[in-house]
Amino acid sequence: MEIGLERGFRTALGDIIIMQLQLASVFFTFSLGTRVHYFGRTILHGGAKYRATGRGFVVRHEKFAENYRLYSRSHFVKGLELMVLLICYRLYGSAADDGISYALLSFSMWFLVLSWLFAPFLLNPSGFEWQKIVEDWEDWSKWISCRGGIGVPSVKSWESWWEEEQEHLRHTGFMGCLVEIILSIRFFIYQYGIVYHLNMTASIRQGIRQSIVVYCLSWLVIVAVLIILKIVSMGRMKFSADFQLMFRLVKLVMFVGSIVTIAMLFYFLDLTIGDIFQSILAFVPTGWALLQISQACRTVVKGIGMWGSVKALARGYEYMMGVLLFAPITILAWFPFVSEFQTRLLFNQAFSRGLQIQRILAGSKMQA
């Protein structure tokens, strides 16, 4: 309306169309996520400080690891949580019976999810250039596998960055930790709803008491997985160096045992492939909730000697999230026109031509 009153409504309409083509709505939605995250964290735990928003004209390519460090907690985790909820709404929701109704009802939420997950890469110069993708993956793999320690910066090690991300929990009070735990309980309620709809539980989920039994049985699966992870972690520390054969035999026995257990569930409890997919939807968020509660109760977890297992589980979740984010970017980078379209979309024609010439010269130097 402001542009229409100043310069005419035809000009305003053209400017709005151009801004949408330049992903202005994506950037605005993403920037709102930044404010929401840090406002919420500051209200719960205090510690207000300046957050750089990067107002300059950015033409330098940011590595995938850098974007992950900046936006993992503020955008990627929340985006993936909303995506899982939207998938569950499609599977179990009754308001949208067909695909068209579901698309109309959830379009705005899917736009929010995609903006929070992929805006840093869409607006990243040369974000879909294949050589940059290869370098980003190597850099991110090196970063997430590097062990931390005294004097190791967060840009070099995932462990150092993970410790820094929990700094607000060290300075918060009892109420801040309690609120974090209460907020994490939502994942347990979600787990109950998913487990209740499994086909294998249809014969025993009659009545409130039976449904609670089903929920408790699902926790046995989670406890079993945690025990396996603990055994693997301890075996790696004690046997991987001197008794490699013994460590491999232990992993083989656990793998065969898992396959046999799944086969028995298929045979005796009518487990289906759909149940496996739904179980993943149920248990993966539950594991994340256990991580959040463990971080809030850091002192207690360290006291019982489980902090190493928590760190190993957290690394696995980070690696999984990184792969989920990196896979679509890699697929798009296979097509050369995507990178050229992104360059023309973000920058003017003169700069786009200069960037293309720079790529040709860089390729010539590499061949020479």
Q: What is the mean pLDDT of the chain?
A: 81
- Residue pair 76/120 in contact (Cβ under 8 Å)? The answer is no
N-to-C CA span, the chain: 55
pLDDT of residue 237: 64
Q: b/e string for 156-190 if b means 16 or more Cβ within 10 A?
A: ebbbbbbeeeeebbeebeeebbebbeeebeebeeb
Tokens of 30: 């993403």
Averaged pLDDT for residues 248-263: 74
pLDDT tens per residue, range 73-122:
999 999 999 999 999 888 887 777 778 888 888 999 999 999 999 999 98
Residue 143 in this model has a pLDDT that exceeds 70:
yes
Please state which of the ranges 15-24, 117-126, 222-231, 313-322 shows the lowest mean pLDDT. 222-231
Q: Where are the domains of the chain?
A: 26-46+62-203+265-366
Q: pLDDT class for 240, splitting at 50, 70, 90?
A: low
pTM of the model: 0.82
What secondary structure does DSSP assign to 345-368, as a single string?
A: HHS-HHHHHHHHHHHHHHHHHHH-
Residue pair 67/316 in contact by the 8 Å Cβ criterion: no
**Cα–Cα distance measured from residue 97 to residue 282, given in angstroms and rounded to the nearest whole number:** 23
Residue 327, pLDDT > 90, answer: yes
Task: Using a pLDDT cut of 90, give the percent of the chain over it.
Answer: 28
Q: What pLDDT does residue 139 have? A: 93
* Res 340 pLDDT > 90: no
E strand spans, the chain: none
Rounded (to 5) percent helix, strand, coil in the chain: 80, 0, 20
**Cα–Cα distance between 269 and 275 in angstroms, integer?**
11
Query: Element (H or E) spanning 21, and its range?
Result: helix 9-21
